[in-house]
Amino acid sequence: MKIPFQSIRWRIQAWHGLILLMAIAAFCGTAYQLAWLNQRGRIDRELQKQERALIREITDRSGGLPSEAGTVQNKRIPYPQELYQKLLSGGIEGKDTGGEESGEESTDTLYYAFADADGRVLLKSANAPERIEFPSFSEGGGMLEEMRMNGTNRESVHSFDFGLRSVVGLDISADLAEKRRFAWSLAGSGVALWLGGLLGGWWLAGKAIRPIQSISRTASRIAEGNLNERISLSGKDSELDQLSRVLNHTFDRLNATLEQQRQFTADASHELRTPLTILLSESHRMRKREIPRSSEDYQESFELCHEAAERMRNLVESLLLLARQDSNPPGTEGIDCDLATVLAESISLIKPLAESKGIRLKSELPSMLIRANPELLSVVFNNLIGNAVQHHGGKGRVQVKVEANERAAVVRVIDDGPGISPEDLPRIFDRFYRVDRSRSDSQAGHSGLGLALAKAIVENVGGRIEVASVVGKGSEFRVVLPDG
């Protein structure tokens, strides 16, 4: 809100004000125009009516001298023509104006002037303005008729082809004043309407923007570290609610990722701290001279230290491998390698342990070429086959099979060991999750990362890893690797 005209509210307000102003101005202008046209039409009709009455009256009044106008005896000619002839004969000047003024009250502001074709004024009322402009005479053009303004007067102007030109006018300053008052009142109410509209628009824009401000405030609180806060929804499914939902969903996912990361770091440090404690405590113990020690004591202590160091090495290696899997985009680097060769190596590595536990390791390994990193693949299979053997109670068998699926190679590791309980099954691929900690801990070098690592590696080459297990009967792990 530092630069007010940058804000949405101000911009909405500016456009709203502009459009409203234009609409009001157009409306008032039209209303003003219509009202004036209407009023002028009325004035004009009135003027024309009075003009006709005036001409008739003047003509008739001068009719008292029929001897001079002998041509108009039997046949009636139009009033203007008759008037013109009478005017030319010049007998009706003086009396008219006087009679005119006192005769009718409605025409006390009416004035008139008549002229011939050359512009000579034949008759003019006393209240007529000094300068009267007669229309130019047009020969043979029939009658010319015009309404015009002359100062504050409205004039009806006629020009006849027989020579008469007349101007009859009316002072309409009262009407003009009324017109001005009407204009002012229109402008006043227009401005009032505009201001009211502006206020309403400002309120409306503010109301529309308030949820956005609330969203931005909440979002900035979340950005400051309060990750559990969420934007509250109004429940109306408006556009802003949709935006809020999208944002909340984003925050949820961010929070979950952060939480996962935090948990992973805590677990990793926990896994590292225990062997570190053993190393520290054993080395400290052996350094003390005052207690006599046998060589067996030293031997045992060194074994403990070595085991601890090995655990740390395995853990660090797994962590590094996992981190590399996480940062590598899927489907990078790979060479053509034979699944059978990789599996045979893994099996020969685990064979001694299997034999010592009385477990038969059976394998069906037809040659199958796939494109992958053989070192990473062997990490996967070492983990799967190693797990099957290590978690086996002893006396049984572990089978490794390679099968060709359409467009995929499937490696199955089947054991008849103790199985995995349904509540553990969904979580065995979680990092640092252990089905039975006390047991796996007795085998030094178990980090709890093996299956997580296997999953990450397989998924990185576009494959997937599945597990099915029945408690007491055994488990089957399936690794599906895409061909080529």
Partner 1 sequence: MRVLVIEDDPGLRRSLSATLQDEGFAVDNAADGVEGLYKAQEGVYDALVLDVMMPKLDGWQVLERLRPGHDVPVLMLTARDTVPDRIKGLDSGADDYLTKPFDSDELVARLRALIRRAAGKTQSKIDFEGLQLDMARRRVTRDGQEIELTAREYSLLEYLLVHRGEVVSRSDLYEHLFDETDNSLSNLLDVHVSNLRKKLGSGLIATRRGHGYCIE
Give the CA-trace dihedral at 387, 391, 395, 400, to 10 degrees: -20
Residues 344, 374 contacting (CB under 8 angstroms): no
By CB under 8 A, name the one of 73, 74, 102, 442 that touches partner 1. Answer: 442
Q: Which is nearer to partner 1, 150 or 281 (CB)?
A: 281
Give residues 285-314 in contact with partner 1 (rule: CB under 8 A).
Answer: 285, 288, 291, 301, 304, 307-308
Q: Is 181 helix (H, G, I), strand (E, B) or coil?
A: helix
Q: Which residues contact 34 (CB under 8 A, 6 or more apart)?
A: none
Which pair of structure tokens corresponds to residue 65?
């001298």
In this chain, which stretch among 68-76, 178-186, 241-249, 279-287 interacts with partner 1, using CB under 8 A?
279-287
Binding-site string for partner 1 from residue 259 to residue 278, where x marks contact by CB under 8 A and - marks none:
-------x--xx--xxxxxx
Beta bridge partners of 338: 369
Q: Is 411 helix (H, G, I), strand (E, B) or coil?
A: strand
- CB environment 72-99: b (16+ within 10 A), e (fewer): eeeeeeeebebbbbbbeeeebeeebbee
Asked if 433 is part of the footprint of partner 1 (rule: CB under 8 A), the reply reads: no
What is the rounded distance in angstroms from the CA atom of residue 65 to the CA atom of residue 352?
Answer: 156
Q: Is 457 helix (H, G, I), strand (E, B) or coil?
A: helix
Q: Which is nearer to partner 1, 75 or 288 (CB)?
A: 288
Q: Among 139, 194, 177, 192, which Cα is nearest to 161's?
A: 139
Asked if 280 is part of the footprint of partner 1 (rule: CB under 8 A), the reply reads: yes
Minimum distance of partner 1 from residue 390's CB (angstroms): 15
Which pair of structure tokens corresponds to residue 394?
């002893």
In this chain, which stretch among 337-345, 365-373, 385-393, 436-444 interacts with partner 1, using CB under 8 A?
436-444
Q: Which residues contact 298 (CB under 8 A, 6 or more apart)?
A: 286
Asked if 284 is part of the footprint of partner 1 (rule: CB under 8 A), the reply reads: yes
Q: Which is nearer to partner 1, 234 or 299 (CB)?
A: 299
By CB under 8 A, name the one of 117, 215, 219, 444 that touches partner 1. Answer: 444
Q: Which is nearer to partner 1, 169 or 275 (CB)?
A: 275
Q: Which is nearer to partner 1, 279 or 456 (CB)?
A: 279
What is the rounded distance in angstroms from the CA atom of residue 133 to the CA atom of residue 266?
Answer: 106
By CB under 8 A, name the one of 136, 438, 472, 484 that touches partner 1. Answer: 438
Element (H, E) at 206: helix 173-223
Q: Which is nearer to partner 1, 163 or 418 (CB)?
A: 418
Q: Which is nearer to partner 1, 304 or 389 (CB)?
A: 304
Asked if 8 is part of the footprint of partner 1 (rule: CB under 8 A), the reply reads: no
What is the rounded distance in angstroms from the CA atom of residue 126 to the CA atom of residue 129?
Answer: 8
Asked if 428 is part of the footprint of partner 1 (rule: CB under 8 A), the reply reads: no
Q: Which residues contact 228 (CB under 8 A, 6 or more apart)?
A: 255
Q: Which is nearer to partner 1, 282 or 415 (CB)?
A: 282
By CB under 8 A, name the one of 42, 95, 313, 437 that touches partner 1. Answer: 437
- Alpha-carbon radius of gyration of the chain: 55
Number of residues that bind partner 1 (CB under 8 A): 28
By CB under 8 A, name the one of 150, 281, 363, 378 that touches partner 1. Answer: 281
Written as one letter, the residue type at 324 is: R
What is the rounded distance in angstroms from the CA atom of residue 363 to the CA atom of residue 414?
Answer: 10
Give residues 170-229 in contact with partner 1 (rule: CB under 8 A).
Answer: none
Give residues 306-365 in contact with partner 1 (rule: CB under 8 A).
Answer: 307-308
Minimum distance of partner 1 from residue 276's CB (angstroms): 4
Residues that bind partner 1 (CB under 8 A): 266, 269-270, 273-282, 284-285, 288, 291, 301, 304, 307-308, 434, 436-438, 441-442, 444
